[in-house]
Structures are given as C-alpha cells and as structure tokens.
Amino acid sequence: MALEVYQEIFCKMVAAPGLRERVLEASGEYLNGLDLTDRERRRLLAIAAQPGMRVNTAIHRANRITPLDHSVPFTLFLLGERLRDLLQRYWSENPTENLQIPAECERFASFLEGEIQAGRIVDPYIEEVLAFERACTELKFFTEEELRRAKPTGDDLPALVRIVTFRHDPEQLLEGLANLEIPAPDITEGEFHLLIDCRTGEPDFRLLDEEALKAVLPHHKG
C-alpha cells in the first residue's frame, strides 16, 4: 500500500505545484499522516525540493493542452487572452494524471460551465460553442460498449446522434471560427437546432427547421 501512496503523491506533485509547497512546509509534516515508509518520506521531500520539478510540471501541462486543442479548439480560440489565467486555475483545481481526450474535455467543459455560471466568463458565444464541441467529442469517442448499452426508446435520439441548440446562427458562427476569425457581433440571433449524426462514422451536420425538429423529436414544443 505504501508504494501506491508514494506513486500517487509523486504524480500529484508533478500536476500541482501547490502540493509540492505543502509537502515542503514544516519539513514534510503533510506526509506524516500518510501510509509511507521513512525512506519514501525522505525521497518525496527530496523530489519536492528539486528545481527540475518545475520542468516536469510544465511538460505535464503542455500535454494537458493537447487533448483540449483536439476537443475544444473553437472554445480555446474564443477565450483568447483569458485562456492563460483560466488554464492556471483549471490545472490548480483539477490536478490529474488522466490525459485521455474525452475525460479531459468533459472536465474542462464542466470547469468552464462553472466559470460562466459564476459570471467570471462573459461572452455571447462561448456557452453554445462549448456545448457543440462537447457533443462532437462525446460522439467521436463513443465506445462499442457504450453503443451496446445505449438503446433508444420512444422519442430518444439514436446513440450517435445529438441536437445542439444555438442562440446564434451556427452556420455563421462556426464558419467564422473554422477560419480563425473572431465572430462578428451581429450574428443572427434566434433559436437554432443543429443535428450531429455520426452513425456513418463521419459527422453529418444538419440545421433543422421547426418542421424537421418535430419530425425528429415529436414531443418538442416550438
């Protein structure tokens, strides 16, 4: 058990500089209540004091940017200069060694939702763009086991189909982002429903009018 605790603390110190500082405080008092041998405590203290740990953290965080760049690139682009501070807070609050794209996307999306609800992110487009990219990532990494368990009934959509609601015309919004252009402030507003269908293996995007939406979701109330 001690070795598992040792490895866990080491990984967490790489992901969270704040934990390294806690380990070093009072000559390692933080480690005293953990299931560690004296030798493991001494090693962790020595590791925490190594200047090279900052490099390990930088590499770890660079690796965490990669899955976000693959899963929510439009959202990152929209955040612009706000991204740096947001990432610092996100990494501090969510130190993790699981860097799989779906897991990191879901974690970061949940973090951004909290920031939006708290009023720390104010942007007319981020919430709907994030919902779109979150849905695309979920569909892209849908596992065979999840597909077997997901059996739609009644009005449920097929497992590999999602409908994302936009407050702005998604064609105008997403086309601009695809060209790395900041969206215009006068994009057409309304209620738009974009269907994402991945049943063929490649995503098919269709903008649904009210009639098509009711055909897909009979109980929808316009």
Beta bridge partners of 197: 161, 204
Tell me the pLDDT tens digit for each residue of 82-117: 999 999 899 888 877 677 899 999 999 999 999 999
CA distance 61 to 127: 24
Lowest mean pLDDT among 41-45, 82-86, 127-131, 152-156: 152-156
Tell me the pLDDT tens digit for each residue of 152-211: 544 578 889 999 999 999 999 999 999 999 999 999 999 999 999 998 888 999 999 988
CA distance 23 to 20: 5
Phi, psi of 196 (to 5 degrees): -115, 115
| DSSP designation for 214 | H
What's the token pair of residue 194?
Answer: 């974009």
The sheet with strand 161-168 has its strands ordered as: 161-168, 189-197, 204-208
Q: CA nearest 200: which of 144, 161, 146, 157?
A: 161
**Which pLDDT score, from 0 to 100, does residue 2 have?**
61
